[in-house]
Structure 1
Amino acid sequence: MTNEPFFRKDAQGRFLPTRAGVGPWSRDSLHGRLIIGLLGAEIERQFRTPDYMPARLTVDMYRLPDLSPVEVVTRVVKDGYRIKVVDAEFISGGQSAGRATCQLLRRTENPPGDVWTPEPWDAPKPADIVPPDDGRGAMGGMWTVRPISGGFGQPGMPRRLWMAEVRELVEGEAFTPYARVATAADFASPFANAGDQGLGYINSDLTLYLHRDPVSEWVGFDVINHGASDGIAVGECLVYDERGPIGSASCTALAQKRKA
C-alpha cells in the first residue's frame, strides 16, 4: 500500500494523525471514521479472542479532534463467559474526543428452526461494476467505491454502493476484517443523511452491529432509513460483504454548517 496512512505511531505508542485523515467539517480536524476505526481496532487488538465476536460497537463523538497525538485508553466493564463489555476512550491532545463501548459475544451454534431474514441482496459484485473515473471516493481519496444505485445525496431511488479502504489505518499494520468494517461504518451517516443540497448533518454517534466478520475487502452499504426533525437526524444502513449480509450501521446526527 503506497497511500499515506491515517496514523503513524511514535516511540511512546501514541497515534500521530496525518493530513490524509482530515474530515469535511474543518481543515484541521480528523474524520469521524478514524475515531471509530481506531477505537474498534484497539478494542479488538487488546481483547478479542477467536471464541468471541465483537457484535456491537457504539461510539459517541462529542468533539472534533485536531491533528494532535492520540492515545486510546481502555477499560474492561464486564469479563463474563458469554458476554464481555469493553470501554475505550479517544484522547486527542489530552482531551477526550470520543468514547466507545463494545460488546463481545461468545460464539456458539444457532438454535434449530427457520427464522425470517430479508431477501438476498441483489447487488452486482464489485468486480462487475465499472469504477467511476479512477474509482476513488470523495474526501481526497480516503476510500474507493463501486456505486450500485442512487448517487450520494440523490433522492428518489435506493442508495447502494461498495466501499474498500485504500490506506492503512495505522502505518505498518494491516487491516483486520473487523477493523476494516469498523472504519468504513461511519459512511452510514453521510450516505443516509445527505440530500440534494449536500451533506448538512454531522453524526454524533455510530453503532455497528455484526453477526460475522466480512470475508473480503469490499463492504456494501444499503440505506434503509433516514428521518429528521428540528435539526436532528437518524440514519441506518444494512451492511454486506461479497458473501451476503453481515449486520447494520446506524447513527444520530446534528445539523451542521461547514467552516470556510
Structure 2
Amino acid sequence: MKNEPFFKRDGDHYVPTAAGRGPWNPNSLHGRVIVGLLGFELERKHGDPDFLPARLTVDMYRLPGFDPVEVTTRLIREGGRIRVAEAEFISGGVSMAKATCQFLRRTENPEGKVWKAPEWDVPKPAAIPAPDPSSGPMGRMWSTRPISGGFGQGGQRRMWMSEVRDIVEDEPLTPFQRVAVAADFASPAAHASDQGLAFINSDVTVYLHRLPRTEWIGFESAYHDATEGVAVGECRLYDEQGSIGFASCAALAQKRPARPAPAEAAKAEA
C-alpha cells in the first residue's frame, strides 16, 4: 500500500504515525490501530496455518499517545487443538491495552444440519459507486461502499469497508489483520444515533469461523442497547463470499457533547 502506515519500526518498538490519530483526542491513537497492532503481533509470533484465530478480545483501558510502542506477547496454552496467547500494548512505559487470542485447529465439520441466519443478500462492493471522498468516514480513513442506513440516520446499518493502509510499514496486510484493524468499527456502526456517536468503546471482541477471502469486509449492525450510560453492541461480519463471524463491544457514554457521526465529521473537515 502506498498510503502512510499506522506504525513504523524502530528496533523493538513501533512508532505511531499521524495516520493513526484518534477521533476523541487529537493527541491519542485510534482504537482500531491498537487492535490492529495487537492482532499483528499475535499472528506474527503465535499464528500457524493449521490454526484459525477464532477469537480476538482486546481490552482498551487507556488512550495512548504517540510515544513509541512496545508489544509483549505470552503463550498461555499450547495444545493439540487449542492455542491461547496474550499480548500487551505498552506506550511510554505504561500498559494501555491487552489482548487475548484463541487459535483453534482446523478440521472437518461434523454431519448434521444446524440453523443459521439467511445468506447476506446485498450488492457487491464493485456494484456500489464510491462515495464522495470528502464525505468518507473518519476523514477518509477507509475505503467504503455504503449499503443502507448511513450515519446520522435511523435503521440498521450495512456497509463494505476496505483498509487503505498497512498496520506496520512494509508488512502487507494478512486476512486476519484486515479483520483486526477493521473490528473497532463495530462500535460506531452499532452505537451511533441520529445525533452522532456519544459512546466510546472500551473493548472489542471478534469471533471468526473463517478468514476473509477478499479485501472487503462487510458490516451489518445486529444489536445495540444501553442502560445508565453503559452500552453493548454487535455487528455481523462478511466478505464477498458470505458470513465470516461477528464483532461485539462494550461502550461508555461520553460526558461531553456527542461527536458527529463519521460522515458528518468528514464533511466538517472538508
TM-score bucket of the superposed structures, by smaller chain? over 0.9
How far has the Cα of 1:52 moved from its partner? 0.3
* 1:237 corresponds to: 235
* 1:115 corresponds to: 114
In structure 2, C-alpha distance between the alignment counterparts of 1:190 and 1:137, rounded to whole Å? 14
In structure 1, C-alpha distance between the alignment counterparts of 2:178 and 2:209, rounded to whole Å? 15
* 2:196 corresponds to: 198
Change (3 A) 1:7 1:179: same
In structure 2, C-alpha distance between the alignment counterparts of 1:249 and 1:216, rounded to whole Å? 18
Instruction: Say which SS state the counterpart of residue 214 (structure 1) adopts.
Output: coil
* 1:17 corresponds to: 16
Unaligned runs of 5+ in 1: none
Aligned-residue sequence identity (percent) comes to 62
- Whether contact under 8 Å (2:195, 2:258) holds in the other structure is no
- Whether contact under 8 Å (1:162, 1:219) holds in the other structure is yes
In structure 1, C-alpha distance between the alignment counterparts of 2:18 and 2:228, rounded to whole Å? 33
1:91-102 matches, within 5 Å, as: 91-102=90-101
Change (3 A) 1:125 1:135: farther
The amino acid of 1:4's aligned partner reads E
- Whether contact under 8 Å (1:23, 1:31) holds in the other structure is yes
In structure 2, C-alpha distance between the alignment counterparts of 1:107 and 1:170, rounded to whole Å? 28
How far has the Cα of 1:135 moved from its partner? 8.2
* 1:173 corresponds to: 171
In structure 1, C-alpha distance between the alignment counterparts of 2:4 and 2:141, rounded to whole Å? 10
In structure 2, C-alpha distance between the alignment counterparts of 1:13 and 1:129, rounded to whole Å? 42
1:30-109 matches, within 5 Å, as: 30-109=29-108
Q: What do the CA deviations read for 1:198-229 (whole angstroms, capped 9, x no partner)?
A: 11111000000001100011000000100011
Instruction: Say which SS state the counterpart of residue 38 (structure 1) adopts.
Output: helix
- Whether contact under 8 Å (1:153, 1:193) holds in the other structure is no
How far has the Cα of 1:258 moved from its partner? 6.5
Of the candidates 206, 211, 216, which is equivalent to residue 208 of structure 1?
206
Instruction: Say which SS state the counterpart of residue 204 (structure 2) adopts.
Output: strand
The amino acid of 2:171's aligned partner reads E
- Whether contact under 8 Å (2:125, 2:216) holds in the other structure is yes
* 1:6 corresponds to: 6
The amino acid of 2:204's aligned partner reads L
How far has the Cα of 1:168 moved from its partner? 1.2
In structure 2, C-alpha distance between the alignment counterparts of 1:27 and 1:33, rounded to whole Å? 15
- Whether contact under 8 Å (1:203, 1:252) holds in the other structure is yes
How far has the Cα of 1:4 moved from its partner? 1.2
Pairwise CA RMSD of aligned residues? 1.4
Equivalences, count: 258
Unaligned runs of 5+ in 2: 260-270
Instruction: Say which SS state the counterpart of residue 54 (structure 1) adopts.
Output: strand
* 2:265 corresponds to: none
Q: What do the CA deviations read for 1:113-136 (whole angstroms, capped 9, x no partner)?
A: 111111010111000001111387
The amino acid of 1:88's aligned partner reads A
1:222 aligns with 2:220: yes
How far has the Cα of 1:171 moved from its partner? 0.8
Instruction: Say which SS state the counterpart of residue 183 (structure 1) adopts.
Output: helix
In structure 1, C-alpha distance between the alignment counterparts of 2:2 and 2:169, rounded to whole Å? 10
- Whether contact under 8 Å (2:184, 2:204) holds in the other structure is yes
* 2:139 corresponds to: 140
Q: What do the CA deviations read for 1:51-79 (whole angstroms, capped 9, x no partner)?
A: 10010000000000000000110011111
* 1:255 corresponds to: 253
